[in-house]
């Protein structure tokens, strides 16, 4: 059986990205468990710095050659030690320096009983001014998230106005117009 390779040298689509993500999560666990003098730590550090597929594969091969108990301990460390939560004060300091940016937000739940229709709104956020950002809670089921992202992409393809600033200005004007009291209601409640 011959191994298929893409033009980028990847054995499967996304191999480089997948290895990079795995090694990024593994690096702090290796540092904590095996120390910065370990061969695996240096291989991971070098692979992530270069991004070369051969270096990424080498680091993974070193990980795979560890005794089974050590591998299991390191893998458990990835799952058990989530990203440390930054101090609230530091996050607020960072947000204070940002300017509000308009974003079309698409909020969607996954799993049993989730509303199949995503909530789409225009709102301002104190985020970096990027064209696209996807926020997913860690621990979410990848197949569920990928499926929802495909559904959202199809929704945007079907109605491209959803990303139009003009569409959202018109929608805001319509909401304001509907919320204005009619001539009969203007004096109601005032004494």
Q: Where are the domains of the chain?
A: 15-80, 94-179
User: What DSSP string describes the chain?
Assistant: -PPP--TTS-SSTTHHHHHHHHHHHHHHHHHHHH-TTSHHHHHHHHHHHH--HHHHHHHHHHHHTS-HHHHHHHHHHHHHSPPPPPPHHHHHHHHHTSPPEEEEEEE---STT--SSPEEEEEEESS---S------TT--HHHHHHHHHHHHHHHHH-GGGG-HHHHHHHHHHHHHHHSPPTTTTTTT--
pLDDT at 83: 61
Residue 64 confidence (pLDDT) above 80: yes
pLDDT in tens, 107-166: 888 777 878 788 888 888 888 777 888 888 777 778 888 888 999 999 889 988 888 888
Comparing 140 with 34, the larger pLDDT belongs to 34
Maximum average pLDDT range among 3-12, 54-63, 143-152, 163-172:
54-63
pLDDT digits (tens, 9 = 90+) for 66-114: 999 999 889 888 876 556 777 888 888 888 888 888 888 888 887 778 7
Q: What was the pLDDT predicted at 63? A: 95
């Amino acid at each position: 059986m011959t191994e298929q390779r893409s033009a980028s040298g990847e054995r499967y689509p996304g191999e480089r990205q997948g290895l990079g993500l795995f090694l990024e999560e593994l690096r702090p666990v290796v540092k904590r468990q095996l120390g910065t003098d370990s061969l695996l730590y240096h291989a991971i550090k070098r692979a992530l710095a270069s991004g070369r597929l051969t270096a990424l594969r080498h680091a993974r091969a070193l990980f795979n050659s560890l005794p089974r108990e050590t591998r299991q301990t390191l893998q458990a460390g990835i799952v058990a030690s989530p990203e440390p939560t930054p101090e609230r004060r530091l996050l607020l300091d960072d947000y204070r320096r940002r300017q509000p940016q308009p974003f079309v937000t698409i909020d969607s739940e996954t799993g049993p009983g989730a509303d199949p229709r995503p909530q789409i709104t225009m709102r301002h956020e104190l985020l970096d001014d990027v064209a696209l950002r996807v926020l997913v809670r860690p621990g979410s089921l990848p197949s569920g998230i990928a499926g929802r992202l495909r559904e959202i992409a199809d929704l945007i393809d079907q109605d491209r106005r959803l990303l139009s600033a003009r569409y959202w200005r018109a929608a805001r004007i319509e909401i304001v117009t509907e919320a204005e009291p009619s001539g009969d209601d203007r004096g109601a409640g005032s004494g």
